[in-house]
Structure 1
Amino acid sequence: GAYLVEGLGHCGMCHSSFNALGATDKNAQLAGGLIPIQRWYAPALNSGAEVGLGNWTDEELTQFLKTGVSVRGATYGPMSDVVFHSLQHLSDADLQAIATYLRAQPVLVSPGDVQKIEVSPQLAVELAQQGRQIYINHCAECHQLDGRGVGEQYPPLAGNPSIAMQPGTNAIRMVLLGGFQPGTKGNPRPYSMPPFAQLLNDHDVAAVVTYIRQAWGNNAPAVSPAVVTRFRHVPE
């Protein structure tokens, strides 16, 4: 597992922060980081229950790496390309080794490489209230009113660490750009989420993302419309 993750897989190139010289920060190895240029946030791959893989089983993680989907969520953004071009072709033994190694990693706190814009308490409440109706209108048909989704077809939003993690970059980009699962042998007819960039303005996106980050037991900060503006016009 160490050989595949640290060597051939070079997972830390995305899932770690970079220091001032552009090298991966060994003090925050696999603790999450913002991918340069693409501006997706690669989440932590350690054993922390809230920020990483602590709640995943080896079987769930192995399935996720092999097929791109699991009951806990689906791949999106650059990770879908990784699964499509690489991980789905590994043997079950190699995938099991990767899962075992990742789940054995200690909890590290990323130094953070995304400038945060604070949202006032009043605006946060307003965004969440407005976001609920936007969610009902555009999201609930697939992800359900209770945020639990439908099996592996429509991933759950309730209790999903990818939705609630800080920063909220990926949730914003998913709403703007949509989400596209890779076509794999284990998932030959993948479901996808359409983009809403043309339909929702920056305030609308901030509202619905704030709502899903705070509904159904999720407990994450609101996101600002200014942050949505920042990530609307960057490469996918």
Structure 2
Amino acid sequence: MKWLRWLLPSVALLVVLALGWVLFGGRSQPTPPAASKVAAASLRDPALLAKGEYLATVGDCAGCHTAQGGVRYAGGRALATPFGNIPVPNITPDRETGLGDWSFEDFWQALHSGKGRHGELLYPAFSYTSYTKVSHDDALAIFAWLQSLAPVRQKNMTPALAFPYSVRNSLKAWRVLYFREGEFKPDPAQSAEWNRGAYLVQGLGHCNECHAARDTLGGTPQDVHLSGGQIPMQNWYAPDLSTGRNGGLEGWSAQDIVDLLKTGQSARGAAFGPMAAVVSGSTQHLSDADLRAIASYLQSLPSREQPAPPTTPFDARTLAEQGTKVYAKHCAACHGKRGEGVAGVYPPLDGNSSVTEPTGINATRMVLLGGFTPVTAANQRPYSMPPFAQQLSDAEVAAVVTYIRRTWTNQASIVRAEAVSTYRHTPID
């Protein structure tokens, strides 16, 4: 079965590549020039540098372009994907291993068009599918900031991708399916705040790169937007971000969203796993105005269709009964008998999107590995949840997770012990 799981997407990719070549003849989309050459002196303007530093924080550039324990923005790590490992480049201004010899036009081409300095197609682990929406002026500010950093000499690694994904020309077909080049266009029917939020979420924030499902080719269809999806290779589920009916954040107020992005915790839930790192490195540093703009945009997302009721196999009652005992012994003291939590301390479990997301991955991994909210300027001593991997068996974890997913107002599917065993041995990152 392992070779079959590899073969099917590989065959599909080859078919798509052939079709794309027939239809488009290998032609790439024309890229408009990035205006005139930028004078080096203008890149040293203090206001431009301050703006660029802020925007690089909004985009959480350091989150990917920094190895653990390494120099910020100097690369030195590889992103694991279902198709192989893709190195993250050094983006300090070192002339040999970084962006020191890059012009702004080179940088704009990478950000806006997904093409390298010499026109090579970039792998979409670099989220140019979102960054294409970034404005020319904002891109210039980010480039100026990166050029102002101290250069770090750190050689870039080479991709480790299996055939046919190692063939860069295969990206021509991939781009036909999944990439639409173009800057963000404000909606005149919406407020300035809404448009600012839409620009941040769709562009630099690149939220859809995690919060949407990907298919076997690693792409996100154009009509899938912030509706939730499993993060490849990380085994965390990024929830649907709609606050409307049946949305992943149903019932969340604008203030709930602002609180979570600013402090890592809100009355409706807390940030764990990959989102904790995003809050720590990026969103806590955003201005209050930008956080409110993001909340305004997310609250405008449409309601979702009523999900199909989860199937209830014969062992659901047994799991729930066992889970009741485990919950009473290990969980109720903090999260409450009714899953109500303690405001500002322990997140509620009733109605919590991390508990009720479709897969059960998030709740399972937090029971096993613990839940650690980020340390932020507004919440410098957050409470954390201890891991229970050493105390609870796979069956007990499955039981208590099933219990919290199917109790109070929660109506999610059960979690089986076999799934717990898989997640028990999955690294956090």
AA partner of residue 204 (structure 1): E
Change (3 A) 1:25 1:107: farther
User: 1:119: Cα distance to partner?
Assistant: 6.5
Distance 2:334 2:361 in 1: 22
Question: Which residues of 2 match residues 41-80 of structure 1 at below 5 A?
Answer: 41-80=237-276
Question: Which residues of 2 match residues 143-222 of structure 1 at below 5 A?
Answer: 143-222=335-414
Moved more, 75-84 or 164-173: 164-173
Query: How many positions carry a matched residue from both structures?
Result: 229
1:120 aligns with 2:313: yes
The secondary structure found in structure 1 opposite 2:280 is helix
User: What's 1:39 paired with?
Assistant: 235
Moved more, 59-68 or 214-223: 214-223
Distance 2:356 2:254 in 1: 22
User: What's 1:229 paired with?
Assistant: 421
The secondary structure found in structure 2 opposite 1:15 is coil
User: What's 1:114 paired with?
Assistant: none
User: 1:21: Cα distance to partner?
Assistant: 2.4
**Identity across the alignment (%):** 54
Distance 1:197 1:91 in 2: 38
The answer (yes or no) to whether the contact 2:319–2:399 under 8 Å persists in 1 is yes
Change (3 A) 1:106 1:167: same
The secondary structure found in structure 1 opposite 2:203 is helix
Change (3 A) 1:196 1:119: farther
Distance 1:160 1:108 in 2: 17
User: 1:2: Cα distance to partner?
Assistant: 1.4
Q: Which of these residues, 213, 220, 229, is aligned with residue 17 of structure 1?
A: 213
AA partner of residue 226 (structure 2): L
The secondary structure found in structure 1 opposite 2:396 is helix
The answer (yes or no) to whether the contact 1:37–1:235 under 8 Å persists in 2 is no
Change (3 A) 1:51 1:165: farther
The answer (yes or no) to whether the contact 1:163–1:212 under 8 Å persists in 2 is yes
Distance 1:158 1:60 in 2: 16
Structure 1 gaps of 5+ residues are 110-117
The answer (yes or no) to whether the contact 1:51–1:165 under 8 Å persists in 2 is no
TM-score, normalised via structure 2 length: 0.51
User: 1:92: Cα distance to partner?
Assistant: 0.3
User: What's 2:55 paired with?
Assistant: none
1:7 aligns with 2:200: no
The secondary structure found in structure 2 opposite 1:27 is coil
The answer (yes or no) to whether the contact 1:41–1:170 under 8 Å persists in 2 is yes
TM-score, normalised via structure 1 length: 0.91
User: 1:49: Cα distance to partner?
Assistant: 2.9
1:80-112 deviations in Å (ceiling 9; x for gaps)? 000000000000000111111111122456xxx
Change (3 A) 1:143 1:231: same
Distance 1:141 1:75 in 2: 21
User: What's 1:87 paired with?
Assistant: 283
